[in-house]
């Protein structure tokens, strides 16, 4: 029993007390990403596929949430019209800090198959996009890759100022 207590004390001294608080907070934030997703096109089906047992986004700490005031990531799924851009910007401004943006789909990146339409705009014209997920439709693996890269960025301490 005494050995267990000594090893626990050494663990506390070695890990907890010598680890910077920013790294501990980064680990906690990285595994509790709550995204609000703006489904404006067919990419929403691929985002929904992330919740199935094959990908299981909940094991990564990513729970789909609908209230923008309690989320820290926004996922733009599909084409973004000029009329919808104001609402997306409003949702982004209501989110808490730090906030992250993932843009998925060719339509959100550059217009996709609707590239010559007058009413569509790129996501980067409205929001500061952190990660792009290419494809039409983008694969769930690509979305999971963007989430893991976002987690790596958060764990390194970027965006926790």
Q: Which residue has the tokens 């693996």?
A: 141
Q: How much is the average pLDDT of 41-60?
A: 72
pLDDT tens sequence across 96-143: 888 888 888 887 777 777 777 788 888 888 889 888 888 888 888 888
- Decide: 63 and 34 in contact? Cβ < 8 Å: yes
Q: Give the chain's domains with CATH numbers.
A: 37-155 (3.40.50.12280)
Tell me the pTM: 0.75
d(CA 44, CA 138): 10
Q: What is the pLDDT of residue 100?
A: 87
Q: Chain-wide mean pLDDT for the chain?
A: 77
């Amino acid at each position: 029993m005494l050995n267990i207590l000594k090893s626990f004390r050494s663990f506390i001294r070695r890990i907890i007390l010598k680890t910077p608080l920013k790294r501990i907070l980064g680990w906690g934030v990285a595994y509790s990403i709550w995204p609000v997703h703006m489904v404006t096109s067919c990419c929403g089906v691929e985002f929904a596929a992330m919740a199935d047992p094959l990908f299981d986004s909940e094991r990564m700490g990513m729970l789909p949430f609908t209230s923008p005031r309690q989320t820290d990531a926004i996922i733009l799924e599909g084409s973004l019209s000029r009329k919808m851009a104001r609402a997306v910007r409003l949702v982004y401004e209501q989110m808490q800090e730090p906030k992250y943006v993932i843009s998925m789909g060719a339509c959100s990146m550059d217009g996709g198959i609707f590239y010559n339409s007058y009413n569509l705009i790129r996501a980067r014209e409205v929001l500061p996009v952190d990660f792009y997920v290419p494809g039409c439709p983008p694969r769930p693996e690509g979305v999971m890759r963007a989430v893991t890269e976002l987690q790596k960025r958060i764990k390194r301490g970027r965006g926790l100022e």
